[in-house]
Chains A and B, each alone.
Chain A
Amino acid sequence: MESDQAPTARFRLHSGFLERVAHFAAHAAARRRTPTEDSPGSRAPSVHGSGEFAGRRRYRPGDDLRAFDWEALARGGGELVRLRSNDSSEPWAVVLDASASMAVGDPPKFQLAGELALAVCAVGLEWGCEVRLAAGERFHVLRSRSDLARAAEDLDGFSCAGPEGIEGQAGIGPWLSSPALERARRWIAIGDLFDVEPSIVGRFATARRRLDALCVLADVELSPLSHGQSGASVEWRDPEQPVGLTTQLTGAELARYGTALSQHLSHWRASVARARGVLVIARAGDAFEPHAERWIRGRGR
């Protein structure tokens, strides 16, 4: 039986983590310029600078046809689109859910969410973007790797289960209307996404504002039976809600929960699709790289 005390979690900045993030971001930036993505012989993209040619990549259905590289097609280079530096240097807002529910899981969801947030920030910096990182009441404007390092140190030891988390002030929702993030053209929300209704996100997205969502879920949320025997009684408690709920892990109830979770994630997927973004679902305890990789691959669509 778990403790009746609400779980707490602190983000730990493990040694070598910033190096892993830097390596991942550099790898992501370099891959953006790989021959498989860019036409052979094209000049190296200028990473920085507004409106400059930043490279090519394979055309994907839905891409703006004005960016289609007809010349490359004529040269037999295949179906490519031109990338410009102002596409990648847009202001980003990375919002990390620091609500109390992020302390759930072993290891807690907050650890992977924090790692993903720093990884996304690093990728944004590699791509020349100004990144604004918000987590609870903490806020950082990142323009360089040193800014990222300072932000990472600031997050080290940051707890997500304080009173602010219980009151629900540390989640994603309050940042959606924050003036500090108003200029951001791309939003990346990282958390369990249980404290924000997908429909709000759909209304939040505009023609100039995209939204990606990285949903980090604990084992017990993805597969409840992994933490109890079939038929056993379980009292589910949420750190952000005063009253729990007792259920039995019967097949019928697990199936209903599975359906509810699928519907919840489907709504999120549809909402971020309307916001021209991507939804990535991650399991707490995983390494951040594969999930960040999936996000990078998906965000071009």
Chain B
Amino acid sequence: MSALAFAQPHFLWLLSLLPLLWWHARRSRRGATQWTGALSLWRRAVLPSDSSDARRRDSLPRYMQAALGALALGILALAGPERVGAKAQGPQWVFVLDRSPSMFLEVEGPAPRVTRIARAMQLALELCQRENVGPERREWLTFAADGEHRMRAERPPDEWLATEWGIGASTPWGQVDTPRHVWVSDCSPAIAPVWAGRVHSGAVPAPGAIADLGEMELFWDGAQVLERPRVGARAGLFLGAELPEAIATLARLWADGRGISIASESDRRCLSIESVATNLPIVEGRAQGVGWSAPARAACLPRGDDGIPWSEFVAADGPRGPAAIWRSGKIKLALTSLAAEEADPAAFALCWSELFDRARAPDGAVVSYGERALQGAPRVEPPRAPPSADSREATELAALPALLAAALALLSLHLARSR
């Protein structure tokens, strides 16, 4: 619910002149005072027993009433009425959350040490409180390999703030430099926002691996870059149970070719491939992708499952669904078995290896030198209000009394002329 407020409330003082004008108009309308003993005759002559007529005579003529009304509405229009509630509630604020690898580096601070993304989130929530942006007005946006993810909530889910959900893709900052957007990152990108606000966690240099060279890695120790044997395990490929044999075999070959190890349950993963068919009914049909087709059995994926569909499964009785859905770091397979020998092997391999490449999340341990060497203080700036939209709203609200004032003024002129 919105309340009315005024952009220029000092103009409302002019309203106090209206009673004076009314009094003056009445007084001037009264004209000359003439004393007479024949007032009873005047009453009898001009007020033929009609009290409403008497009231009309005692009041101002209509053209003066219209003129005073026009003046009052004109003053209201000058004061610039606007809806406070609408302004306060306003449209959504979109917080664009940077989930690039550097956001998961730690920043210095009191123990426990926090990541840049956690610090940035803390600052973003403080901004919401300061700018009176309620939970219902907050929208969170992040970019991953499988595309953008949006969520309207008081705060983003905890998994967004952890690497388990997968490392995000680079954010197209230029596309989100719009009013009511807030960039939540560790430091400003090369080009500062024009319209968007920004929340920067700040950063201190974070030495570590800056490039993966297979068995070796490039390591920045805070002063110089060294080439050294890789330390620690790389994120691997995790294969779940009950996968079609053809796809599991193809995934192992793909990982081997990319130098990715097969991960166990507890290992860090860059990609998980799992079946969703465990609790769902299985139907016969045919799986098909770009240039290949093969008989298969699959579960019908529930609608609304989070992910991007890949290839297609056509059940024998007609319904269609995706053969798999994916997002960054994770592939869910609907297929439980596949007669891949009936498909074109090259087209089949290209199709699925393309999916593995797309779904593979970056290794969080390797962060570019630029991001590791980043330095900066925390910074919080609210987004710039879109002046055109706000002023349009205020103008529209002020236009109503202005139009009414103009109409009343015209009416007043008309009445005055037709007297």
Contact = CB atoms under 8 A, between A and B. Distances in A.
Contacts of A260: 41-42, 44-45
Given A245-B42, A253-B46, A257-B45, A2 B34 contact: yes
B41 A244 contact: no
Contacts of A177: none
Interface in B12-66: 29-47, 57-58
Contact of A246 (B30, B35, B37, B38): B30
A227 B45 contact: no
Contacts of B29: 233, 246
A239 interface: yes
A236 B42 contact: yes
Given A220-B34, A227-B34, A228-B32, A245 B41 contact: no
A1 B40 CA distance: 21
A245 B57 contact: yes
Interface string A233-256: 111111111001111000001001
A3 interface: yes
Contacts of A65: none
A234 B37 contact: no
Given A247-B42, A259-B45, A218 B31 contact: no
Interface string A210-231: 0000000110110010011000
A164 to B, nearest CB: 16
Contacts of B58: 246
A261 interface: yes
A254 to B, nearest CB: 9
A4 interface: yes
A234 B32 contact: yes
Nearest to A106: B35
A232 interface: yes
Contacts of B36: 101, 104, 218, 220-221, 224, 236-238
Contacts of B40: 194, 238
Contacts of A261: 38, 41
A228 B30 contact: no
B31 A257 contact: no
A264 interface: yes
Contact of A194 (B34, B38, B45): B38
A1 B33 contact: yes
A7 interface: yes
A102 interface: yes
Contact of B43 (A4, A101, A192, A245): A245
Contact of A109 (B37, B39, B47, B57): B37
A209 B39 CA distance: 31
Nearest to A235: B30
Contact of B33 (A103, A232, A237, A247): A237
B35 A238 contact: yes
A228 B34 CA distance: 9
Nearest to A254: B45
Contacts of B38: 192, 194, 217, 221, 236, 238, 257, 261
A232 B37 contact: no
Contacts of B44: 260
A238 B45 CA distance: 15
B42 A194 contact: no
Contact of B34 (A102, A103, A192, A236): A236
A47 interface: no
A155 interface: no
Nearest to B26: A246
Given A245-B47, A246-B29, A246-B30, A239 B42 contact: no
A6 interface: yes
A233 B31 contact: yes
A82 B47 CA distance: 52
Interface of B: 29-47, 57-58
Interface of A: 1-4, 6-7, 101-104, 109, 192, 194, 217-218, 220-221, 224, 227-228, 232-241, 244-247, 253, 256-257, 259-261, 264
18 contacts: A2-B32, A101-B37, A102-B37, A104-B36, A217-B37, A218-B36, A220-B34, A227-B34, A233-B29, A234-B31, A235-B31, A236-B35, A236-B42, A239-B35, A244-B33, A246-B29, A247-B57, A260-B45
Given A104-B37, A238-B37, A238-B38, 5 more contacts: A227-B32, A233-B30, A246-B58, A257-B46, A260-B42
Interface pairs A-B: 10 shortest CB-CB: A233-B31, A101-B37, A238-B39, A256-B45, A235-B30, A260-B45, A1-B32, A257-B45, A260-B41, A192-B37
